[in-house]
Each structure stands twice: as structure tokens, then as C-alpha cells.
């Protein structure tokens, strides 16, 4: 009987419970066999339930059966079901599974809080039961309990244990930049400098956000979406939080329409002569984007542009809601 893949409803930090078929491998004599894989420690894995017990379920893998404790087993789980689980080693060095979601996985950066400092190093809170160790040899400077740090999570080659480090420079790629200008990227806010906001791009590269192009409040550790604005000859990368293209104008138009709908009389005292700082404060966008957006809304007959601001026209409300998907 083919297994089921559980996904869809929230359970213990991961999405579970909707039944989906999954691929099988055809073995000798035409008999279908389920694929058994070597689990990746420190990563999410899709594993099949092999056996049920009173204290949990065992998941099938090339490394042997892996326990998923009962408290993390999604309701209704049966033998043959496929579960998305995070794999790590417990305090006794056994490979174990959880449906809790860690703040980051192996190969990623995160901004984590030190829970305690012991004789072996600093232990970080990261969303699962076993705390994450930063050995003293992996600390750029001595870490303190209660403080937060940007760390890179990796698998120690010697112990095969998940480890973190604040010596992150060796994990930043500086030469082989596999990005293109205009590309969507994931950003982790790392440091505020005189030049701007230093970020890590796609868990791989340094990037710079300039404050005059940021229209929202950011804090160290924030994970945000952005775009590559420019890759310089010296391989330094400038990024922005919006792409400046058609899609962003459409988003800005929705922002303006919503603000007009929420304002008294459908009016905003903003226009071509408004200060860029005021537009940024009210609408969280640049003046350049604002002008493009209201120009488009005017051409579409959605707003009127007056000498002292912009006003929402009395058009069919249902059409506006449909067009801008409020």
C-alpha cells in the first residue's frame, strides 16, 4: 500500500496532516519499494513512518530507524506516512527527529540569544529542545549570557554535530558572486554603519542597504526580502528592499489606495511639492515611486490630483476592491 505524505496543517512548528501521494521506486519483479534515504543532519528531511510505539514513531532511513518522540508526532499519523522533520543529534549523540522548527538550519545565518555560558562554550536558544553550542574556539570574542549574536550554523566535520560560530567571515563568498542585478534575494540585517545597513544576502554574500532607500524600521536579526541593485567592479553588492519595477509600482498603488480609503473624505495632502521625508513617513515609499504610482492611478481614473493633494474619485467601490484585492 503506498504511503501518505503529511503536509498542510500546522503541528509543532511544521506543516502537517494533508494527505498527498509520493513517488515510489520500482524494485525487482515489478514490486514497488519506498525510497529510503540517508538523513541530512541539521536539515529538514521527508521520512517514512516505519513503526509505532507508545513513546513515539520510528522513521525509516539509511542510517537506521530514527525516533520521533510522541509529543512531536502529528495526530492521525499511521505507518507508511511521510513526515517532514528536522534531524539532529541528542545529548547522547543519537540521531533524533522533531517537528519543531529551528530558527535556522545548517548552512544558514541567524541572530540568536545566548541561554547560558559553560566551561565548553555558549549555548544558544534556537527553537528546539537541545540548545545550540558555540565552542570557545568558534567565538570571535567571548559571548555573554542574555546577549544576541549573528552566527553561522554548520556541521562539525569531526563530531558530526550541529555547531554555531561567530567567526562568520570564512562562510562569506567574496569572489564568485552568483547573483544578477534585479534578482530577488533574502536578506539578514547584521550591522548599522555610517555607510548604511550591512546585510547577508542568501546566506552567502555581504550586501549594503543605504538608509535613504529604506522605508521601514529595521533591526539587527531581521530577515527581509530584497533585490540586487548593483554589483560593483570590486564585487561589493548594493541591495534595496524594493525592485523599483512594475511590480513595486503596483504594490505602491495599493498602499496609496488603502491610505486614501482610510482617510477622511478619501483625501491625502500629498503631491508633487511634498517633501520626500513626509511621503516616506506617511506611505513608506520614495517620492519617485509615489509620483509614478499616483500618475498611474490618475490615468486609470482612480484618483484626482489637486493643487493641495490627491483625492479618491467616487468610482465603483467593488471595482477598486477587485482591482487592488483588498
As to burial, measured by CB atoms within 10 angstroms (0-12 exposed, 13-18 middle, 19+ buried), residue 216 is exposed
- For residue range 189-248, what is the model confidence (pLDDT) as tens digits? 999 999 899 999 999 999 999 987 887 889 999 999 998 989 999 999 999 886 555 557
Grid coordinates given for 298: 490618475
Is residue 127 scored above 90 in pLDDT?
A: yes
Categorize the per-residue pLDDT at 32 as very low, low, confident or very high, splitting at 50, 70 and 90: very low
Per-residue exposure over 174-195, b if at least 16 CB sit within 10 Å of its own CB, e if not = eeebebeeeeebebbbbeeeee
What are the structural domains of the chain? 4-98 (2.40.50.330), 109-170 (2.40.50.140), 184-240 (2.40.50.140), 246-324 (1.10.10.10)
Is residue 13 scored above 60 in pLDDT?
A: no
The string of DSSP letters for 256-289 reads: HHHHHHHSGGGEE---TTS-HHHHHHHHSS-HHH
Cα dist. 166→40, 140, 152, 156 in Å? 23, 6, 7, 14
- For residue range 291-304, what is the model confidence (pLDDT) as tens digits? 999 999 999 999 99
318 or 71: whose pLDDT is higher?
71
- For residue range 170-204, what is the model confidence (pLDDT) as tens digits? 999 999 999 988 788 999 999 999 989 999 999 99
79 or 158: whose pLDDT is higher?
79
Mean pLDDT of 6-17: 42
User: Which range (15-29, 42-56, 91-105, 257-271) has the least confidence?
Assistant: 15-29
Model's pTM, two decimal places? 0.69
pLDDT on residue 31: 42
Mean pLDDT of 114-141: 97
Categorize the per-residue pLDDT at 35 as very low, low, confident or very high, splitting at 50, 70 and 90: low
168 or 18: whose pLDDT is higher?
168
- Alpha helices per DSSP H over the chain: 246-262, 276-283, 287-299, 317-324
Is residue 163 scored above 60 in pLDDT?
A: yes
Which residues sit opposite 8 in a β-bridge? 17
138 or 245: whose pLDDT is higher?
138
Amino acid at each position: 500500500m503506498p504511503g501518505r505524505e503529511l503536509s498542510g496543517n500546522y503541528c509543532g512548528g511544521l506543516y502537517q496532516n494533508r494527505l498527498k501521494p509520493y513517488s515510489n521506486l520500482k524494485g525487482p519483479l515489478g514490486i514497488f519499494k519506498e525510497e529510503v534515504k540517508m538523513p541530512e543532519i541539521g536539515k529538514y528531511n521527508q521520512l517514512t513512518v516505519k513503526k509505532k510505539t507508545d513513546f513515539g514513531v520510528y522513521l525509516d532511513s539509511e542510517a537506521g530507524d530514527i525516533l520521533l518522540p510522541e509529543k512531536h508526532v502529528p495526530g492521525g499519523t499511521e505507518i507508511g506516512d511521510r513526515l517532514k522533520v528536522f534531524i539532529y543529534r541528542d545529548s547522547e549523540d543519537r540521531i533524533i527527529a522533531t517537528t519543531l522548527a529551528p530558527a535556522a538550519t545548517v548552512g544558514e545565518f541567524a541572530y540568536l540569544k545566548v541561554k547560558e555560558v559553560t566551561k565548553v562554550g555558549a549555548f544558544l536558544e534556537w527553537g528546539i529542545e537541545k540548545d545550540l553550542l558555540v565552542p570557545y574556539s568558534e567565538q570571535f570574542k567571548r559571548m555573554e549570557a542574555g546577549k544576541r549574536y549573528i552566527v553561522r550554523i554548520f556541521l562539525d566535520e569531526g563530531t558530526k554535530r550541529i555547531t554555531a560560530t561567530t567567526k562568520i567571515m570564512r562562510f562569506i563568498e567574496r569572489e564568485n558572486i552568483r547573483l544578477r542585478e534585479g534578482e530577488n534575494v533574502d536578506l539578514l540585517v547584521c550591522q548599522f554603519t555610517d555607510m548604511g545597513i550591512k546585510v547577508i544576502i542568501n546566506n552567502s554574500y555581504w550586501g549594503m542597504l543605504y538608509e535613504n532607500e529604506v522605508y521601514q524600521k529595521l533591526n539587527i536579526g531581521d530577515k527581509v526580502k530584497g533585490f540586487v541593485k548593483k554589483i560593483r567592479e570590486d564585487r561589493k553588492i548594493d541591495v534595496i528592499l524594493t525592485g523599483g519595477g512594475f511590480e513595486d509600482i503596483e504594490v505602491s498603488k495599493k498602499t496609496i489606495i488603502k491610505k486614501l480609503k482610510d482617510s477622511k473624505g478619501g483625501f491625502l495632502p500629498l503631491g508633487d511639492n511634498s517633501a520626500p521625508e513626509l511621503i516616506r513617513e506617511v506611505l513608506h515609499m520614495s517620492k519617485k515611486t509615489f509620483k509614478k504610482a499616483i500618475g498611474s492611478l490618475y490615468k486609470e481614473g482612480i484618483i484626482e490630483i489637486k493643487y493641495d493633494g490627491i483625492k479618491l474619485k467616487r468610482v465603483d467601490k467593488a471595482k477598486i476592491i477587485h482591482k487592488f484585492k483588498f
